[in-house]
């Protein structure tokens, strides 16, 4: 079935035309009077018809012709695009599509008859009767003139008349009311204007056609069709380049002469990667645009009234990912219509707008695209879910009784689950949501479901922007490197050996860590990976806890060491290794080592970390705490001569590490010439005194804003950033000043206002060198 170049181009062009037609048709439903839309649709069909005649696809030409007639009447305003007509046009589109498909696979248009469809399209032209009748008198005159013109002067400028000639020709027959006769009469009438009609129509087409050709011309110059396999190959090669770059960066890290070159290589590689990725990006509208049709057809067959809103259509996603979420999205939309949005009478009874709303929203959030399908329907009845899941034997009654709402909603994703009472042709066979979940998870995405009874359901799909390259943290365990996807990582905790005993607590064999006062279940990666091995106790070495969030489960993964974060290129594993279930792939690191990519969700599952109900309530409370804390103040935790102190983070401008020799003195007051401004240094902890006599010693100055001026605080170390809690004096509700609760320790807050201002010199402009300082001192 080798298609020649011409046919192939025709197929691609026609598909694009039909896609455009589909978009216009759905818009046409909302704005049936929009002449521009009708014109667009007309042109799509007309182009197909024109080219098919040339290529000799008779069946396609006939069908397109029938559609064109109907569209012609719409365009001339003799018909209004009401429901049946739109349906007819959609059927026409489907008909054309299926013929194109046949041509693509078999290289001929097949011989299935389209008589029924053509008949329907002609039937739809009949309502023109009424309008035509009114215009009959005028039409009669026009006809006469048109015929005269066509007979007399075939080059005459009578375009208007001639194009109308077709209508009067139908008029008498329309009176008779015989639909079949319309066709016959039309054909009979055609010879009357044979020489005229076609060229005229072509000319009428020429004007808008020319305009379109121009815009198409500029588009054609700036765009190029590229084979997807070529793009895939480019993506693979870029992946290899990223690997090589990582290796070059590591190998040359100690050679300053190569720094500039490698930095350039780094930048160019990053840009190239982004460009290739961008080339694979397509707007979400490519799949969103299919939805109006689905919603329309389904709402009709289900007897729902649905308004579809779409947002963020311009959001872009990798082509292969876009393909992968097409089915899940369709499933989700079907589900919303069938199970979510109620029939109009039910909605009205519930005091809602009889017309339901289905919202599709796409938005990019960091390295993910979130696609939301939300409806304002009945929501998911969790009790019904519980009952059905038990009924279908997906879960035991005991277990079901213990599940909290959020876990119950997760049951919807189990294979074989359905709450629909009857199996309809839309849904109810129980193969909906699990397909959604597996398809989305296959591409590294996540599905979340949120539902409020009576208010509606929201399904959220989080899709990674790209599959091939992800940021990951490299961790060490069992003397090997592993990659942890950054997406799941929320924070890292360092546990020095001397603190290990105190901070890792055991509850009957279950290791736990107190993370900001909350118990975090721990999973030791070495014990998980080598259940039989001999493990060094955590008291003998440093350990790190990677706090991971996987499918709503939070746990800490204890590893032996951390390396730098890297952008890793994901390589698939063979089936045998995939079956282990802990690894989602492998990657080649900058040092040319291989590292397995850990799958946090699978680790949680393997280690038995679940969301127990107790934990969940605690989590909820914790989230509130955190939200509360966020409202409060954040502090920079510093160490000043062995004591901890806090500086309000909002006031911190920057943290400077500098040589102690840069500190100068105005009398006994230390000052810093900081970007041409004089900064008084607060040194209540005698940090400066501690390094006196050693001009090369480094000190840290935290530069803060205090009202309109800036002050510096000399500190020994900068420790952390933490949210402070308020402290109240026992028995009173008076807030204690000057202290805050940081990491469960009462910590003094540095009083910035207490830093005395520098002496003001009202004389000549000050030059900041030792001389002036002395002068200022003298003046004082």
Partner 1 sequence: MSSVITATNRKEKAALLEMCSVRLGKTLFGVPITHILEIVGGARPQPVPLAPSYVGGLVHYRGDVLTTVSLRHLLDLPPRDGPQDILVLESSGGCFGLLVDSVGEVLTVSSADYEPNPSILDDRRRALFAGAYKLKDTLLVMLDPDRLDPIRLDSMRAVPAQAA
Q: Which stretch binds partner 1 (CB under 8 A): 19-27, 232-240, 460-468, 651-659?
A: 232-240
- Closest approach, Cβ 512 to partner 1, in A, equals 24
Q: Can you say how many angstroms the Cα of residue 676 is from the centroid of all Cα atoms in its chain? A: 46
Residue 602 touching partner 1 (CB under 8 A):
no
* The only residue of 579, 657, 733, 770 in contact with partner 1, by rule CB under 8 A: 579
Q: Contact region for partner 1 (CB under 8 A) — 63-71, 329-337, 506-514, 571-579?
A: 571-579
Q: Is 600 within 8 Å of 470 (Cβ atoms)?
A: no
Q: Is 582 in the site for partner 1 (CB under 8 A)?
A: yes
The nearer residue to partner 1, 482 or 635, going by C-beta atoms, is: 482
Residues of this chain, 455-514, that bind partner 1 according to CB under 8 A: 478, 480
314 binds partner 1 (CB under 8 A): no
Q: How far apart are CA 352 and CA 496, in angstroms?
A: 59
Q: Where are the beta strands (DSSP E) in 196-336?
A: 281-283, 306-311, 316-318
Confirm or reject binding of residue 596 to partner 1 (CB under 8 A). yes
Contacts 24+ apart (CB under 8 A), 190-193: 192/147, 192/150, 192/165, 193/146, 193/147, 193/150, 193/162, 193/165, 193/166, 193/169
Residue in 571, 616, 709, 743 binding partner 1, rule: CB under 8 A: 571
Q: Least CB distance from residue 607 to partner 1, whole Å?
A: 13
* Closest distance of CB 602 from partner 1, Å: 11
The residue from 267, 363, 592, 779 that contacts partner 1 (CB under 8 A) is 592
Q: Which stretch binds partner 1 (CB under 8 A): 236-244, 302-310, 454-462, 696-704?
A: 236-244
Stretch that binds partner 1, among 55-63, 585-593, 627-635, 667-675 (CB under 8 A): 585-593
Indicate the residue among 239 and 379 with the shorter CB distance to partner 1.
Answer: 239
388 touches 459 (CB < 8 A): no
Q: Which of 222, 229, 257, 574 binds partner 1 (CB under 8 A)?
A: 574
Q: What order do you get walking across the sheet with 669-674 strand by strand?
A: 652-659, 698-706, 709-715, 677-682, 669-674, 663-666
Under 8 Å between Cβ of 482 and 565 = no
By CB under 8 A, is residue 593 in contact with partner 1?
yes
Distance, in Å, from the CA atom of 99 to the CA atom of 94, rounded to the nearest integer, reads: 9
229 in contact with partner 1 (CB under 8 A): no
Q: Which residues, 6+ apart, have CB-to-CB distance to 138 below 8 Å?
A: none
> Which among 170-178, 587-595, 635-643, 715-723 is the span making contact with partner 1, rule CB under 8 A?
587-595
Q: Segment 626-655, which members bind partner 1 (CB under 8 A)?
A: none
Question: Which segment (65-73, 389-397, 573-581, 611-619) binds partner 1 by CB under 8 A?
Answer: 573-581
Among candidate residues 375, 359, 364, 369, the one with its CA nearest the CA of residue 291? 359
Binding residues for partner 1, total number by CB under 8 A: 28
Q: By CB under 8 A, is residue 620 in contact with partner 1?
A: no
Considering only residues 62 through 121, tell me which ones interact with partner 1, judged by CB under 8 A.
Answer: none
Residues 744/517, Cβ–Cβ less than 8 Å: yes
Q: Is 230 near partner 1 (CB under 8 A)?
A: no
The sign one gets for the Cα dihedral 762, 764, 769, 770 is negative
Given 45, 242, 470, 588, the residue binding partner 1 (CB under 8 A): 588
Q: Which is nearer to partner 1, 74 or 483 (CB)?
A: 483
Kind plus residue range of the DSSP H or E element containing 481? strand 480-485
Residues 521-540 that bind partner 1 (CB under 8 A): 529-530
324 CB burial (10 A radius; 0-12, 13-18, 19+): buried
Q: Is 588 or 604 the residue whose CB approaches partner 1 more closely? A: 588
In the chain, how long is the greatest CA-to-CA distance? 116
SS3 596: strand
Asked whether the beta carbons of 489 and 471 are under 8 A apart, the reply is no
C-beta closer to partner 1: residue 308 or 586: 586
Chain positions 692 to 731 lying near partner 1, rule: CB under 8 A, are none
Does 576 contact partner 1 by CB under 8 A?
yes
In whole angstroms, what is the distance from residue 13 CA to residue 15 CA? 5
Question: Which of 108, 134, 153, 236 forms a contact with partner 1 (CB under 8 A)?
Answer: 236
- The least distance separating partner 1 from the CB of residue 235, rounded to whole angstroms, comes to 12
Burial 382-419 (b: 16+ CB within 10 A, else e): beebbebbbeeebbeeeebeebeebbbbbbbbbeebbb
Closer Cβ to partner 1, 228 or 530, answer by number: 530
Q: Nearest approach, Cβ of 258 to partner 1 (angstroms)?
A: 24
Strand-pair partners of 334: none
Name which of 588 and 679 has its Cβ closer to partner 1. Answer: 588
239 binds partner 1 (CB under 8 A): yes
Report the nearest approach of partner 1 to the CB of residue 237 (Å): 8
Residue (414 or 573) nearer to partner 1, CB: 573
DSSP for residue 571: B
Separation CA 719–CA 690 (nearest Å): 19
At 364 the three-state DSSP class reads: strand
> Does residue 136 sit in helix, strand or coil?
helix
Instruction: Specify the residue, 26 or 587, whose C-beta has the smaller distance to partner 1.
Output: 587
> Per CB under 8 A, does 757 bind partner 1?
no
| 403 contacts 368 by C-beta, under 8 angstroms | no
Q: Which residues pair with 513 in a beta bridge?
A: 504, 520
Q: How far is the CB of 532 from partner 1 (least distance, A)?
A: 11
Q: Radius of gyration over alpha carbons of the chain, in Å? A: 37
Binding residues for partner 1 (CB under 8 A) = 236, 239-240, 243, 478, 480, 529-530, 571-577, 579-580, 582-583, 585-588, 592-596
């Amino acid at each position: 079935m080798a298609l020649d170049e011409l046919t192939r181009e025709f197929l691609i062009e026609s598909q694009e035309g039909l896609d455009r037609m589909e978009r216009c048709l759905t818009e046409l439903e909302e704005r049936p009077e929009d002449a521009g839309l009708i014109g667009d649709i007309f042109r799509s069909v007309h182009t197909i018809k024109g080219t098919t005649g040339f290529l000799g696809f008779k069946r396609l030409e006939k069908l397109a012709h029938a559609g064109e007639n109907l569209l012609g009447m719409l365009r001339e305003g003799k018909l209004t695009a009401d429901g049946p007509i739109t349906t007819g046009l959609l059927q026409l589109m489907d008909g054309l599509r299926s013929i194109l498909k046949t041509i693509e696979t078999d290289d001929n248009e097949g011989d299935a008859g389209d008589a029924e469809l053509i008949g329907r399209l002609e039937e739809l032209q009949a309502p023109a009767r009424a309008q035509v009748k009114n215009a009959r008198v005028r039409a009669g005159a026009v006809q006469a003139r048109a015929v005269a013109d066509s007979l007399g002067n075939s080059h005459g400028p009578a375009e208007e008349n001639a194009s109308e000639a077709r209508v009067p020709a139908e008029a008498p027959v329309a009176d008779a009311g015989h639909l079949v006769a319309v066709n016959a009469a039309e054909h009979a009438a055609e010879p009357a204007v044979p020489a005229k009609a076609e060229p005229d129509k072509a000319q009428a087409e020429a004007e808008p056609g020319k305009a379109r050709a121009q815009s198409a011309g500029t588009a054609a110059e700036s765009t190029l069709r590229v084979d997807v396999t070529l793009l895939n190959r480019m993506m693979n090669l870029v992946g290899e380049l990223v690997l090589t770059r990582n290796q070059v960066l590591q190998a040359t890290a100690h050679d300053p002469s190569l720094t500039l070159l490698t930095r350039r290589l780094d930048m160019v590689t990053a840009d190239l990667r982004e460009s290739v990725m961008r080339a694979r990006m397509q707007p979400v509208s490519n799949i969103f645009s299919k939805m109006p049709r689905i919603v329309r057809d389904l709402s009709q067959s289900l007897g729902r009234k649905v308004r579809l809103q779409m947002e963020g259509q311009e959001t872009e996603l990798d082509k292969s990912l876009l393909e992968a979420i097409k089915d899940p999205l369709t499933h989700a939309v079907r589900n919303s219509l069938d199970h979510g949005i109620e029939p109009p009478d039910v909605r009205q009874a519930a005091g809602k707008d009889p017309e339901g709303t289905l919202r599709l929203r796409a938005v990019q959030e960091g390295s993910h695209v979130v696609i939301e399908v939300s409806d304002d329907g009945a929501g998911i009845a969790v009790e019904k879910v519980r009952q059905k899941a038990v009924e279908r034997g997906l879960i035991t009654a005991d277990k079901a009784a213990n599940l909290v709402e959020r876990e119950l909603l997760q049951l919807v994703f189990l294979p074989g689950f359905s709450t629909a009472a009857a199996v309809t042709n839309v849904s109810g066979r129980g193969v909906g949501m699990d397909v959604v979940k597996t398809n989305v998870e296959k591409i590294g995405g996540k599905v979340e479901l949120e539902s409020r009874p009576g208010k509606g359901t929201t399904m959220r799909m989080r899709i990674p922007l790209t599959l091939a390259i992800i940021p990951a943290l490299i961790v060490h365990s069992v003397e090997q490197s592993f990659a942890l996807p950054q997406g799941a990582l929320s924070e890292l905790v360092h546990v020095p050996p001397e603190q290990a005993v105190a901070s890792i607590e055991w509850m009957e064999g279950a290791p736990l860590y107190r993370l900001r006062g909350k118990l975090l279940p721990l999973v030791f990666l070495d014990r998980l990976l080598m259940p039989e091995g001999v493990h060094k106790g955590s008291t003998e070495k440093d350990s790190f806890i990677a706090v991971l969030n996987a499918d709503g489960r939070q746990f800490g993964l204890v590893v032996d060491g951390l390396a730098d974060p890297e952008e890793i290129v994901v390589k698939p594993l063979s089936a045998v290794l995939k079956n282990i279930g802990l690894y989602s792939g492998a990657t080649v690191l900058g040092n040319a080592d291989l590292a397995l990519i850990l799958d946090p969700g699978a680790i949680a599952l393997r280690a038995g970390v679940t969301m127990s109900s107790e934990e969940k309530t605690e989590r909820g409370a914790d989230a509130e705490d955190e939200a509360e804390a966020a409202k409060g103040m954040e502090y920079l935790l510093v160490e000043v001569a062995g004591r901890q102190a806090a500086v309000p983070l909002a006031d911190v401008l920057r943290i400077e590490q500098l040589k102690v020799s840069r500190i100068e003195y105005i009398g006994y007051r230390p000052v810093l010439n900081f970007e041409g401004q004089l900064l008084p240094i607060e040194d209540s902890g005698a940090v400066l005194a501690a390094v006196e006599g050693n001009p090369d010693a480094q000190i840290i100055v935290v530069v803060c804003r205090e009202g309109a001026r800036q002050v510096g605080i000399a500190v020994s170390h900068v420790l952390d950033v933490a949210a402070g809690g308020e402290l109240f004096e026992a028995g009173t509700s008076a807030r204690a000043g000057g202290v805050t609760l940081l990491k469960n320790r009462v910590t003094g807050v540095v009083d910035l206002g207490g830093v005395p201002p520098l002496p003001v010199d009202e004389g000549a402009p000050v030059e900041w060198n030792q001389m002036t300082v002395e002068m200022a001192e003298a003046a004082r």
